[in-house]
Amino acid sequence: MSCPENFTGIITGASSGIGECFARELAKNNYNLLLIARREEKLEQLAMELEDLYDIATEVFPADLGKTEDINRVVEKIKNTESIYFLVNNAGFATRGSFVDVDSDKHKEMISVHITASTLITHAVLLSMLERKEGVIINVASISGLIKNRGSPNYASTKAYMIKFSEMLALEMKRTNIKVQALCPGYTHTEFHSVRDFEGFNKNAIPSFLWMKSEDVVSKSIRSLRKNKVIVVTGRKNKFFVWIVNSKIFGKLIVRIMFGKR
């Protein structure tokens, strides 16, 4: 996955977890980087580290993709960035509790981050990529977008959008060398469950064998690009889980066991 002609990779949610791992992987392969996230200090630390390790240029662009004005700033920045080859739409978050228990502003913010920002940023990037008819777009979704997941309907639905959006965009890009992927991880060791919305969440309640490292998720994503896979579910256990939940024979039983009767 070495970088052609020292092009640029753009990563949202780059300050930690899967986004940070993508940044490290792209830097290792000689991509210049545009790093986008809310936490400027963490972005600066990562950028300095990668510049010290690799012969690349990095730029930090702090933005909150839950805000329309920040999405617009990012889009304008992308339009003025040359030689974009790689995009990772990774920014995202989840909430706990039923739909009505979560504040409506949180739902609005989630739609903004997962759907509006990913769509508009992808549109801006494609303006550059289509000139060369080559590039890579990875939308970090979730297995939640592929299964019934009672308790987080907005999260599952926005991730399902990212998956379907990637599928349809891949069809449009079929006659180009622009690859589109919907990356669907399951439980992953990141800061995802360490935020205030997950206060009281017990990671130990989830069997250890279900968790994956961010590095392994990113490695699977990169390998799958060579096979032109659009929907990439990481890990055999996650693939089996998605299959059995969607199974006509076992699906209803599994959902009832996991989420109870209603």
Q: What pLDDT, on a 0 to 100 scale, did the predictor assign at position 221?
A: 96
Q: At what angle do helices 118-132 and 153-172 cross, to 10 degrees?
A: 10
CB of 184 closer than 8 Å to CB of 142: yes
Q: Which pLDDT tens digit goes with each residue over 65-100? A: 999 999 999 999 999 998 999 999 999 998 877 899
For residues 197 and 199, give the distance between their C-alpha atoms in angstroms, rounded to a whole number. Answer: 6
Q: Which of 54, 85, 155, 161 is an active site residue?
A: 155
Are 186 and 241 contacting, i.e. CB atoms less than 8 angstroms apart?
yes
Distance CA 83, CA 80 (A): 10
pLDDT beyond 60 at 256: no
- For the stretch 167-223, pLDDT in tens is 999 999 999 999 999 999 987 766 554 545 555 545 555 556 566 898 999 999 999
> What is the percent of the chain where pLDDT is above 70?
82
Q: Largest Cα–Cα distance of the chain, in whole Å?
A: 57
Give the integer Cα–Cα distance in Å for 139 and 221.
10
Cα distance from N-terminal residue to C-terminal residue, the chain? 48
Q: Which two tokens stand for residue 189?
A: 């060791």
pLDDT at 192: 55
Q: Report the chain's mean pLDDT, rounded to a whole number.
A: 87
CATH at 187: 3.40.50.720
Please, how many CA atoms are within 13 Å of residue 10, restricted to the half-sphere of its CB?
27
**DSSP states along 202-239:** -GGGS-GGG-EEHHHHHHHHHHHHHTT-SEEE-SHHHH
Q: Which residue has the tokens 């409506």?
A: 104
Per-residue pLDDT, 258: 46
31 given a catalytic annotation: no
Least confident of 18-22, 162-166, 233-237: 233-237
Write the single-letter amino acid at 130: L
User: How many domains would you assign to the chain?
Assistant: 1
Positive or negative torsion for Cα 153, 151, 262, 254: positive
Top pLDDT among 190 and 110 is at 110
- Spatial contact of 85 and 31, defined as CB atoms under 8 Å apart: yes
Least reliable range by pLDDT among 41-45, 71-75, 133-137, 208-212: 208-212
Q: How far apart are CA 178 and CA 88, in angstroms?
A: 13
> Could you tell me if 59 and 35 are in contact, meaning their C-beta atoms sit under 8 angstroms apart?
yes
Domain extent at residue 219: 4-259
